[in-house]
Amino acid sequence: MSVHGERPILEARGLTRRFGGLVAVDNFSFSVHEGAIHGLIGPNGAGKTTTFNVISGFYAPTAGRVFFRGLDISGRKTSALAAMGLVRTFQGSTLFQEFSVLDNVRVGRHLGARAGFLSRLIGTDRLSEREADAKARETLAFFELEELAGEPVSNLPHGHQRMLGMAVALAAEPKVLLLDEPFTGMNPEETRRMMALVRRIRDRGVTVMLVEHDMQAVMNLCDTITVMNFGALLVEGAPEAVRNDPAVIEAYLGSATGNGAGDAA
Amino acid sequence: MPEPVGAMPATGTGGSIGRIAWRLRPVFLFAALAALPYLLSYSQQEIAVLLVINVLLVSSYRLLTLTGEWSLGHVVIMGVGAYASALLAKQAGVPVPLSMLLGGCMAAAVAALLSFPLFRMKGFYFLIGSFAAGEIIRLIWKRFTDPFGGPKGLKRIEPFPDIETGFLSIDFYEPVNYYFLALVVVSASLFVLYRIERSRIGLTFHAIHWQDRLAESVGVDTFRYRTLAFVIASFFAGIAGGLYAHYIGAVNPTRFSVDQMVYVLVWAIVGGTATFHGPILGVVVLTVINEIVLRALGLDTARPLIYGAILILSVLYLPNGLESLGPRLRALWQRRRGGSAAAGSEPA
Ligand SMILES: Nc1ncnc2c1ncn2[C@@H]1O[C@H](COP(=O)(O)OP(=O)(O)O)[C@@H](O)[C@H]1O
Ligand SMILES: [Mg+2]
């Protein structure tokens, strides 16, 4: 098992989110340790994306609390959480489709490229902008996308768009990165590269929590896995333990649409 | 999307002369603008003044649309600037140039207050919300005769003070002189608007338009930036209002009704909002059509009908606005020359 601290950097306690009568997340608790790659899995509709939406401030929790570095962050604004170092990516290709690849990552540098209104107006923000540009290119280079910097996003194949989504998030210099299905729609080669990148991101000191259906990838990559079903915690533990847990196998076999059923069984 | 920097047409064999002419286009533009009033009749000069003011109105409106929100209250916000500047000059004796600036600030302050209810909504709801907010403001003007003058509005608003020095005397009652005053104020305002758009602030506005959730997730406070766009746009609309009030000398609630807002929308849509110059093109071309062609034909009473027709035609045949006409014609021209240069031309 990889080295990671014992202090939880991200923690949910009794998290609940209702949509009308539907309980998407139901009294759900977990804790992510600093420096870990932490998996969050479960059948389709289990509430994984909703959990990310609540943690990252897109939805307020109906009940329960979220702690980030020991601080109660429940219900805080997404942008404020990003400023604290909690950044998420989106399921699918959520990008600024009309921008160039570089401009996407430049927006990701929003927090790092501070300047006053007047200095933007008269152009004295040039230094901080040049720095932001350099950082953006560095981030693109990390994902081997620097050649595509000038391309419009809509020209990129799906796999590259997924990587760019991660690049935009990473440009914000998170302490905790929430990845929602980072490998979906990637071919095995791309998935392998992406897994290596996730490990390198962790080695740079970023704690990673990821939702993923590709069980092989999850089992290989994660230090700890939390399994949720019907919005609630099912099992939490090391990959080997989770893989062989009868409740997990049951949940995946029992769900009609469980994408990961084949791999999990 | 931000425009390509230094977009320049491939000048082909016409080479250096064409390129120098292209470089010098601000000089030509200013020469033309300076010569313009002397080529016009007195009544056309008056229209030219209003046109310059409307250029600022529609350009400031575009800044708000960068974040993806279209308001129906922009003309009312212009009215806030007009009323505030007029009242400050009439009742508090504030000197007129300063009152205009304060009118802009008042419009910005009203926008800042309105942001709290309005930016809880998006898209269609924002549109309707902004309309409702505008109507409430107009109702206040109508209802409170003191100080707003009720339905009749304010009359005999202080004119812009004459400049009298020993050898120079400028009377701003003359449309030519007010034209130059408006031209200076509007040019300076456009410069500021342009700088904002080309800075990271503009990039952030565009980002919010295309993917506000993603922008928020990397730390953009989308509410703050939407408010910022609204406040800046409103400030300049307020300045346009001040220029209007002290030129015409009277303001009333009807002048800032939603009919007037429809014209702003038509200018912006017909011109196109993808580029900085699109809405300016729209207001200039439509004003010329309206004031010269229609008036000459005696059709100016059919203005709403003809504006409607132009709007429909442009949406059908020029969906990206007049601004897309230049690049299209350029591409066509290069193709006809069988130019290999066409390969290097920038996309529309
Ligand atoms: N905004 C919403 N409004 C109503 N129901 C929602 C909303 N978001 C998610 N849900 C519901 O919550 C449940 C969990 O969805 P989700 O979190 O997307 O699952 P997962 O990501 O695990 O597949 C689903 O039944 C889904 O339909
Ligand atoms: Mg999901």
As for the ipTM of the complex, it is 0.90
Report the pLDDT value the prediction gives residue A255, as an integer from 0 to 100: 55
Report the pLDDT value the prediction gives residue A5, as an integer from 0 to 100: 54
A207-211 and A176-180 strand pairing:
parallel
Q: Which of B218, B220, B221 to mutate to test the interface with A (most CBs of A within 10 A)?
A: B218
Specify whether the CB–CB gap between B66 and B279 falls below 8 A. no
Which of A25, A49, A209, A218 has most ligand 1 atoms within 8 Å of CB, for mutation?
A: A49
Report the pLDDT value the prediction gives residue A261, as an integer from 0 to 100: 41
Higher pLDDT: A26 or B310? It is A26
- Band (pLDDT 50/70/90 cuts) for residue A254 is low
Residue type at position B275 = T
d(CA A130, CA B172): 46
Interface of A with B in 166-205 (CB under 8 A): 168-169, 171-172
Q: Say yes or no for a CB contact (<8 Å) between B222 and A79.
A: yes
Residue type at position B116 = F
Q: Burial, A94: exposed, middle or buried (Cβ in 10 Å; 0-12, 13-18, 19+)? A: middle
> Other C-beta atoms within 10 Å of A257: how many?
8
Specify whether the CB–CB gap between A25 and A16 falls below 8 A. yes
What confidence tens digit (pLDDT) does each residue in B152-176 have? 999 999 888 888 777 777 888 889 9
Query: Can you tell me the mean pLDDT for A177-204?
Result: 94
Residue type at position A165 = G
Which among A78, A98, A99 has the least Cβ separation from residue B217? A78
What domains appear along chain A, each with residue ranges and CATH number? 1-85+174-265 (3.40.50.300), 101-172 (no CATH)
Residue type at position B51 = L
The DSSP code sequence of A32-68 is EETT-EEEEE-STTSSHHHHHHHHTTSS--SEEEEEE
Query: Can you tell me the mean pLDDT for A249-261?
Result: 61
The verdict on B1 touching A (C-beta cutoff 8 Å) is yes
Report the pLDDT value the prediction gives residue A6, as an integer from 0 to 100: 67
Q: Say yes or no for a CB contact (<8 Å) between B219 and A97.
A: no
Report the pLDDT value the prediction gives residue B333, as an integer from 0 to 100: 84
pTM of the model: 0.89
Report the pLDDT value the prediction gives residue B343, as an integer from 0 to 100: 46
pLDDT of A259 over the 50 cut: no
A176-180 and A8-19 strand pairing:
unpaired
pLDDT of A183 over the 60 cut: yes
d(CA B273, CA B77): 20
The verdict on B217 touching A (C-beta cutoff 8 Å) is yes
Report the pLDDT value the prediction gives residue B339, as an integer from 0 to 100: 53
B196: closest CA of chain A, how far (Å) = 6
In 3D space, the residue among A79, A80, A47 whose CA is nearest the CA of residue A64 turns out to be A47
Which among B200, B217, B219 has the least Cβ separation from residue A125? B200
What confidence tens digit (pLDDT) does each residue in A209-223 have? 999 988 889 999 999
List of chain B residues whose C-beta atoms are within 8 Å of the C-beta of residue A103: 2, 203
List of chain A residues whose C-beta atoms are within 8 Å of the C-beta of residue B227: none
Report the pLDDT value the prediction gives residue B315, as an integer from 0 to 100: 86
d(CA A226, CA A29): 10
A79 lines ligand 1 (CB under 6 A): no
pLDDT of A74 over the 90 cut: yes
Query: Can you tell me the mean pLDDT for A70-92?
Result: 95
* Domains of chain B, residue spans: 42-256, 258-327
Specify whether the CB–CB gap between B63 and B278 falls below 8 A. no
Q: Burial, B90: exposed, middle or buried (Cβ in 10 Å; 0-12, 13-18, 19+)? A: middle
Higher pLDDT: A62 or A255? It is A62
Q: pLDDT under 50 in chain B at which residues?
A: 1-12, 340-348
pLDDT of A93 over the 90 cut: no
What confidence tens digit (pLDDT) does each residue in A225-240 have? 999 999 999 999 999 9
